[in-house]
Amino acid sequence: MRVEHESPNQPDVIALIANLDAYQDSLYPAEARYALDVASLSKPNVLFVVARDERHTALGCGAVVLNDSYGEVKRMYVRPDVRGKGIAKHVIALLEASAYESGCRELMLETGPYQPEALRFYTSQGYVRRSPFGVYVEHPLSVFMGKPLSSRCSA
C-alpha cells in the first residue's frame, strides 16, 4: 500500500467520496453535514491524499484544508472492506506531516456522535475534544476535536 498526494478529481476517488456521502447521509440530516465537494477539495489550500494498493485501487482518502491559523481535517474515509489494516493511520500521518511542512501547527476536525469508530480512531491518534472552531457552532450532532502538530509528525 502507498499513500500519496493526488487530485481528488479522479473517477475512483470520486467514487470513494460518494460512498462516504452515502454513509453520512444515512446517519445525519443535511443541515448537520459539512462535506466538501470535489471542486472545493481541488483548491490550492487543500492537501489531499489517497491510499492505494499494489493494483493501484483506491482504498481510502483524506484532506486538510489549510486556513490562516489552523488546518481542518476533512473527507477521511477508508473503504469498509479494507478497514482494520492501518490505512487510516497512514493517511492521517501523511496529512499531519504535510500540514506541518506547510506551516500548520494545529489540526481540527468536526465529526459526528454516530460514528464511534471515527471518534475512537481520532482519539487514538492524539486528537482531543474541544469547542467549536471557525464557522462551526455548538450542535448536538457535531463533535469537535483538535491536535497540536509538532516536528514529530511524520508520514
All 3 cell numbers of residue 115? 460514528
pTM above 0.85, yes or no: yes
Domain boundaries, the chain: 2-148
What is the per-residue pLDDT across 73-101, written as a single tens digit (0 to 9) for each? 999 999 999 999 999 999 999 999 999 99
- By residue count, the chain amounts to 155
Q: Which residues of 27-66 are buried (b: 16+ CB within 10 A; e: fewer)?
A: ebeeeeebebebeebeeeebbbbbbbeeeeebbbbbbbbb
Per-residue pLDDT for 153 more than 70?
no
Does domain 2-148 match CATH 3.20.20.70?
no
